Amino acid sequence: MTRLSALLVIAAMAALIPMALDTNGQTAIGFAFVGFPLVGLAILVYGYQRWREGAFSERSRSGDDRTA
Amino acid sequence: MDASEIGPLFVPPWAGHGLGWMSWLPIGLAALAIGIALVAIVRGRLAPPIATLGLVVLPLGAYALGSMLMLEESKGTEFCGSCHVMGPLVRSLKANDGSLASIHYAKGAVPTQEACYVCHSGYGIWGTFDAKMAGVGHMIRTVTGRYETPIRLAGTFDIQSCLGCHAAAESFRKVEEHQPLDVQQALLSGEMGCTGDCHDVAHPEEALMGGDGAGR
C-alpha cells in the first residue's frame, strides 16, 4: 500500500513539474485533470492503509495501543 | 523580447520577471515528496510521520502552490493562445488585422500580456471567479473536443469590461449614438451589446473558426 501510494505521488508530481516550468494549456490540463486525481488517490490509499493499521481508532488515539 | 534588439525602453516591465518563486516553490516541494516516495518504494515502509509528510503534506502543499501558480499564469495571453482552438485568435490580435480586439491590443489599450483576461473577465472578484470557472469549462471542452467552430461566447459579453475604460472618456460620451437614455438602459440591461449591432464583432470570423496550430 505504501508503495502504491508513493508511486501515485511520483506520478502526480510528474504532472505538476512541467506545469510549473512552463504553464500552457497542455501542461495545465495534465496538472488539473491528471495530477489532481492522482494526488487525491494517493492520499486515499495512504489514509486507507493507516486506517487498516488502526491509526484512527480510539485505542490508538488514546495511546493505549502500544503493540501496534 | 530582447532589449538589445529593440531598446530597453520598449521592453515591458513584466517581461522576463515571471513568477520565479511561485514556480520554484511547488517544484521544491514536489522534489522533496518524490525523494520520500522513492525511499518508500525502495524500503516498502516508512515511519508514519515521514510517510505522512512525504505522501500527504508535501504533495498537498505542492498542489496548493501549483494551483496558485496556474491561476496566475492562466491570465496570460500566451496561455490562452496555447490551446489549439484559441491559437488563431491570439495570432489575429498580434497581427493587427483591424479587428476590434487587435486595435485595442496594438494601441496598448489593454495590457498586452493579459489582453484576453482583461476583456473577458468582468469587474470585481466575481468577474475573476467567473473567468476562472469559464476557463475550467474551456479546458474540459478542449480535452473532450466538445466545441463547435466558429466558437461563440457563452452568454452575453459583459459590457462593464468596455465601460471600465470607456465610460468616463470624453470621446465616448460625445458620440451621439451613446447618448439616448433608452440606448443606455438597453446596453446596461444586456438587451443590447456594444458589438454586433453597432461595432464590429471583436474577433475576425476566420480566427473564430479555429486553426491547425497553437499560437505560441
In this structure, which amino acid lies at residue B172? Answer: F
Cell numbers representing residue A37 in the block: 486525481
Smallest CA–CA distance from B60 into chain A, residue? A39
Across the interface, of A10, A24, A50, the residue whose CB is closest to B79 is: A24
For chain A, the DSSP string reads -HHHHHHHHHHHHHHHHHHHHS--HHHHHHIIIIIHHHHHHHHHHHHHHHHHTTTTSHHHHHT-----
Q: How far is A11 from chain B (nearest CA, A)?
A: 9
Please indicate whether residue A57 or residue B124 has the higher confidence score (pLDDT): A57
CB-based contact, B90 to chain A, within 8 Å: no
- Place B7 in a pLDDT band, splitting at 50, 70 and 90: confident
Q: How far is B2 from chain A (nearest CA, A)?
A: 19
The answer, yes or no, to whether residue A67 has pLDDT greater than 60, is no
Provide the angle, in degrees to the nearest 10, between the axes of the packed helices A2-21 and B20-43: 160
> What are the tens digits of pLDDT across the range A13-34?
999 999 999 889 889 999 999 9
> What are the tens digits of pLDDT across the range B48-107?
999 999 999 999 999 999 999 988 888 888 888 888 888 888 998 888 888 899 999 999
| List of residues 6+ apart from B52 with CB closer than 8 A | A46
CA separation for the pair B65, B29 (Å, rounded)? 9
Across the interface, of A9, A23, A32, the residue whose CB is closest to B73 is: A23
The answer, yes or no, to whether residue B15 has pLDDT greater than 70, is no
What are the angstrom distances between the C-alpha of B116 and each of A39, B57, B78, B202?
A: 31, 35, 9, 11
| pLDDT value of residue B210 | 76
Give the best residue of B38, B42, B56, B136 to mutate against chain A (max A CB count within 10 A): B56
**DSSP code of B8?**
G
Average pLDDT over residues A37-55: 92
- Place B16 in a pLDDT band, splitting at 50, 70 and 90: low
H-helix or E-strand containing B157?
A: none
| pLDDT value of residue A60 | 62
Q: How far is B4 from chain A (nearest CA, A)?
A: 24
Q: Where are the beta strands (DSSP E) in B70-151?
A: none
| pLDDT value of residue A57 | 79
| pLDDT value of residue B138 | 85
